[in-house]
């Protein structure tokens, strides 16, 4: 099964100076019975649209070879904030005389909220694969919460609905705990890190 959100995602990106986006390719346990846990096989801090186009063929090939999914965070990251967070994390380790896994600091820091710009988006994860259902979800969500949907992306088992941050205490929104919510009869999970499927080639 090939799932391709590349064109839709590229239209949402806003590259500029000091900005990058995070991309990773994961081999998921649910797609590969021969592994015991999810495995990251590639990651990239993408700094321009030109760079992204240059690696598209590599992304597709890696997904095919490893039966994997490429994920893309739709939130732009600040290089300055990212560098400062890395430095702070390294300083804390040095001060506590803890040098274990210092090389993993960038991986642990990159998706922290502290590295984001003001251009934040959220993902509403809907685990129902039905076009009529998602059309109704979008209509009801926009009506009840007065929030415009930016884009709807396919996932393997449903949809990722892209929105700007909204009021989570809205009277028409029911908090089901652990970032799960319901509006009217429709339930969704809020994904604040905005990681979505960029491309997948799984069997």
pLDDT single digits (tens) 135-164:
999 999 999 999 999 999 999 999 999 999
* 142 in the same domain as 108: no
* 87 in the same domain as 58: no
How far is residue 116's CA from residue 28's CA, in Å, rounded to a whole number? Answer: 26
Identify the domain containing residue 70 by its residue range. 2-77
Q: Which pLDDT score is estimated for 121?
A: 95
* 44 in the same domain as 60: yes
Domain-embedded: residue 203: no
* Average pLDDT of the segment spanning 25-29: 97
* 69 in the same domain as 50: yes
- Mean pLDDT estimate for the chain: 95
Indicate whether this model's pTM tops 0.85: yes
Q: Which pLDDT score is estimated for 111?
A: 87
Q: Which pLDDT score is estimated for 150?
A: 97
pLDDT, one tens digit per residue, over 87-122 is 998 999 899 999 888 888 998 899 888 998 888 999
Using the CB atoms, write b or e for 43-79: b if 16+ within 10 Å. Answer: ebebeeeeebeeeeeebbebbeebbbbbbbbbbbbbe
Q: In the numeric block, which tokens belong to residue 163?
A: 């929105």
* 178 in the same domain as 135: yes
* 68 in the same domain as 97: no
* 170 in the same domain as 154: yes
- Can you name the residues that pair with 201 across neighbouring β-strands? 2
Count of domains observed in the chain: 3
Q: Which pLDDT score is estimated for 181?
A: 97
* 66 in the same domain as 24: yes
* 84 in the same domain as 71: no
User: Cβ of 196: how many Cβ atoms within 10 Å?
Assistant: 25
* pLDDT at residue 171 is higher than 90: yes
């Amino acid at each position: 099964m090939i799932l391709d959100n590349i064109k839709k995602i590229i239209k949402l990106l806003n590259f500029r100076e000091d900005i990058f986006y995070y991309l990773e390719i994961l081999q998921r346990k649910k797609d590969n019975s021969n592994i015991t846990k999810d495995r990251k096989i590639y990651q990239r801090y993408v700094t321009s649209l030109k760079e992204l186009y240059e690696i598209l063929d590599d992304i597709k090939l890696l997904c095919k070879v490893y039966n994997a999914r490429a994920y893309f965070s739709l939130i732009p990251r600040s290089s300055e904030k990212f560098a400062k967070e890395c430095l702070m994390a390294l300083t804390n380790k040095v001060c506590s005389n803890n040098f274990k896994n210092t090389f993993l600091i960038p991986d642990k820091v990159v998706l922290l909220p502290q590295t984001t710009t003001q251009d934040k988006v959220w993902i509403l994860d809907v685990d129902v694969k039905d076009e009529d259902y998602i059309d109704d979800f979008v209509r009801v969500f926009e009506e009840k919460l007065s929030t415009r949907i930016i884009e709807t992306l396919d996932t393997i088992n449903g949809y990722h609905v892209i929105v700007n941050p909204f009021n989570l205490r809205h009277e028409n929104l029911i908090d089901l705990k652990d970032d799960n919510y319901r509006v009217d009869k429709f339930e969704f999970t809020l994904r604040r890190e905005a990681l979505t499927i960029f491309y997948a080639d799984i069997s």
